[in-house]
Amino acid sequence: MLGWALVFLIVAIIAGVLGFGGIASASAGIAKILFVVFLVLLLASLVVHVVRGRRPPL
C-alpha cells in the first residue's frame, strides 16, 4: 500500500510540473489517503503483535 501511495505521489509531482493541476491534486489526495490507511494498518498490526506476544503459547 505504501508503494501505491508513492506511485500516486510521483504521478502528482509529474502532473504538477507539466501543468495538469486537476490530475495533480487528485493524485496527491489519493496518495494522502493511502498513506493514512497504511499508517492505521501499521499501528493496528503493531498493537496485535504486542498483545499476542505477551500471551503464553498454547
Domain edges within the chain: 2-51
Q: What is the CA radius of gyration of the chain?
A: 17
Residue-level pLDDT, tens digit, the chain, 58 residues:
788 888 988 999 999 899 898 888 899 899 999 999 999 999 999 898 888 876 666 6
Q: What pLDDT is recorded for position 36?
A: 93
pTM, rounded to two decimals: 0.73
- Give the three cell numbers for residue 29: 489526495
Predicted pLDDT at 1: 74
Question: What was the pLDDT predicted at 44?
Answer: 93
Q: Sign of torsion, CA 27 33 39 45?
A: negative
CA distance 20 to 5: 19
